[in-house]
Every structure is written in structure tokens, then in C-alpha cells.
């Protein structure tokens, strides 16, 4: 077979459409091989194409990763209660710690604790973040809360 103008134009057209050399060869027919198409395209200085697959590998700009939220701070309240020293702390008193256990003036709330809880009503609400509107304060609600930072602080102070 010979490269007539018609065939060359068909080659250019199909090449431009992004057809593979094998597809173009099949379209041209008449025993044209894939290699013949590639060779002709090369001689025609047809620009080398990027395959559709490669074109699609260009990923869109990844959305900015959300910044991790700050870990929740230890809950705070302005209510300090009676300021009871650890040596004065008795059963039924609120064990809410005021300040740092390492500090000289570290003390506990010492107000009357809610039955079944280590804290007074004010501090229990803060410690367990119970909404007084949504829920009624209930000792059974806190039975599984064994790892509060307040408990840890008290133990640290006692051992030191
Ligand atoms: Zn308290």
C-alpha cells in the first residue's frame, strides 16, 4: 500500500483524536501495521502524544488537610469552694483540686459532695460536663468514669 494524501490525512486526524497506532493501522486497513503508522507519524513530525491514561494521572490539588483540634483542656471553673487542705479533707467533702498539687497553696473545694460523687454539685457539673438542663445529676451516670484528670492529680499529690 502507499501513503496517499487521503490516508495521510486520516492518519493525522486519528492521531489528533488520540487514537492508538494500532487503532489507526486498523482504520487504514490494507495491511498497514502499527509500526508503519508510528513510522509515518514520526516522518510527518506529528507531536508525540501523551496517552489519555497519563493525562489523567495529574491529580487535582489536594484539599488542605484539616488542622487537628487542640486536645481538650482540663475543665476549669472559677468556683473554688472552701479551700480545704488535703489533711482536712474528709469523706463527703468535694475533692475538687484548686491549683497545682505541687504548689504550696494547693487545696480542695471541701464543699458538701453530692451523694455518690467525689464532688459538690457545682464541681460535678464541671467535671462531667453534665448539662443541668438536659440531664438530672445522677451518680449512676458517672460509674464508668474512672480516669478523670482530677482523680489522677489527687493520687499524685497523695504519693508525693
Ligand atoms: Zn466543689
Reported as a pLDDT band with limits 50, 70 and 90, residue 30 is confident
- In this prediction, residue 143 carries a pLDDT of 52
pLDDT for residue 146: 46
Which H, E and C letters describe 93-158, residue by residue? ECCCEECCCCCCCCEECCCEECCCCCCEHHHHHHHHCCCCCCCCCCHHHHCCCCCCHHHHHHHHHH
The set of cell numbers assigned to 58 is 495529574
Q: What is the mean pLDDT of the chain?
A: 78
Report residue 127 as a C-alpha cell. 467535671
Cell of 130: 453534665
> 87: CA distance to ligand 1 center in Å?
16
Mean of pLDDT values over 39-54: 74
CA of 38 to the centre of ligand 1 (A): 85
**Spacing, Cα 71 to ligand 1 middle (Å):** 24
Measure 160 CA to ligand 1 centroid, in angstroms.
Answer: 23
Q: What percent of the chain has pLDDT over 90?
A: 43
> What is the distance in A from the centroid of ligand 1 to the CA of 70?
27
pTM of the predicted model as reported, rounded to 2 decimal places: 0.36
Kindly tell me the number of DSSP H helices and DSSP E strands found in the chain: 6, 2
Cα separation of 55 and 50, whole Å? 6
pLDDT in tens, 104-145: 889 999 999 999 999 999 999 888 875 544 445 555 555 555
| Residue 113 CA, ligand 1 centroid: distance in Å | 7
**Cell for 74?**
482540663
Q: Are 137 and 124 in contact (CB under 8 A)?
A: yes
Residues within 5 Å of ion ligand 1 by Cβ? Answer: 81, 94, 96, 109, 111, 120, 123
Amino acid at each position: 500500500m502507499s501513503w496517499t494524501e487521503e490516508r495521510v490525512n486520516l492518519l493525522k486526524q486519528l492521531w489528533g483524536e488520540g487514537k492508538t497506532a494500532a487503532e489507526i493501522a486498523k482504520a487504514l486497513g490494507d495491511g498497514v501495521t502499527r509500526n508503519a503508522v508510528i513510522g509515518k507519524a514520526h516522518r510527518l513530525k506529528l507531536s508525540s502524544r501523551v496517552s489519555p491514561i497519563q493525562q489523567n494521572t495529574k491529580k487535582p490539588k489536594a484539599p488542605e488537610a484539616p488542622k487537628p483540634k487542640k486536645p481538650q483542656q482540663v475543665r476549669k471553673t472559677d468556683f473554688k469552694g472552701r479551700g480545704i487542705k488535703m489533711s482536712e479533707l474528709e469523706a463527703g467533702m468535694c475533692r475538687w483540686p484548686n491549683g497545682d498539687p505541687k504548689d504550696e497553696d494547693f487545696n480542695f473545694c471541701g464543699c458538701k459532695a453530692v451523694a455518690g460523687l467525689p464532688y459538690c454539685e457545682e464541681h460535678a457539673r464541671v467535671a462531667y460536663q453534665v448539662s443541668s438542663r438536659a440531664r438530672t445529676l445522677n451518680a449512676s451516670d458517672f460509674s464508668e468514669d474512672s480516669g478523670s484528670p482530677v482523680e489522677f492529680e489527687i493520687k499524685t499529690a497523695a504519693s508525693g
